[in-house]
Amino acid sequence: MGICRGGRLAAVSSCGPHFGEEDVLVGTGGSGTIFFAYCNLSCEFCQNCEISQEGDGDEVSAGELAGMMLELQRRGCHNINLVSPSHFVPQFLEALAVAAEKGLTLPVVYNTGGYDSPETLDLLDQ
Ligand code: SF4
């Protein structure tokens, strides 16, 4: 990943309402899912290896990632669902601040394999 003026880059594979999550997350409007490219694990049985291991996705700035979250809210999603975000937490937090300033009010689902470092969890705690 590189650095761009105005923020660090994350890589996003896809973004949109998702109806395949648990019912409590999906509701009627869907879960506002952002699939990040790459993953901090490399499971042999991964169903999304093109994304998690081959990095299928596009680089986005903090402003662009914030725009994705706001668009998911505008489309009626019930939450922002971050899939495999562990390696992009600093970028996400930067984008979240921008999105919140512009009116994002949805709760965030942190959807990981559960192997997050204490340093990453500390960042999320702040
Ligand atoms: S944690 Fe999930 S997304 Fe990541 S490699 Fe394993 S199965 Fe794939």
Contacts of 81 (CB under 8 A, 6+ apart): 18, 21, 25, 31, 32, 33, 34, 108, 109, 111
What is residue 126's predicted lDDT score, i.e. its pLDDT? 83
How would residue 7 be classed by pLDDT, with cut points 50, 70 and 90?
Answer: low
Atom index in ligand 1 nearest the CA of residue 42 equals 5
CA-to-CA distance for 14 and 12, rounded, in angstroms?
6
Atom index in ligand 1 nearest the CA of residue 113 equals 1
How would residue 101 be classed by pLDDT, with cut points 50, 70 and 90?
Answer: very high
| CB 41 less than 6 A from any atom of ligand 1 | yes
| CB 46 less than 6 A from any atom of ligand 1 | yes
What is residue 8's predicted lDDT score, i.e. its pLDDT? 74
| CB-CB neighbours of 58 under 10 Å | 12
Per-residue pLDDT of 42-96, as tens digits, reads: 899 999 999 999 999 999 999 999 999 999 999 999 999 999 999 999 999 999 9
Q: How far does residue 46's CA lie from ligand 1's centre (Å)?
A: 5
Of 59, 63, 61, give the one whose Cα is nearest residue 101: 63
CATH of domain 3-125: 3.20.20.70
What is residue 30's predicted lDDT score, i.e. its pLDDT? 98
| CB 54 less than 6 A from any atom of ligand 1 | no
Percent of the chain with pLDDT over 70: 94
Ligand 1 atom 7, closest CA? 46
Using left for φ > 0, alpha for ψ between -120 and 50, and beta otherwise, residue 76 falls in left
Average pLDDT, the chain: 93
CA-to-CA distance for 110 and 115, rounded, in angstroms?
12
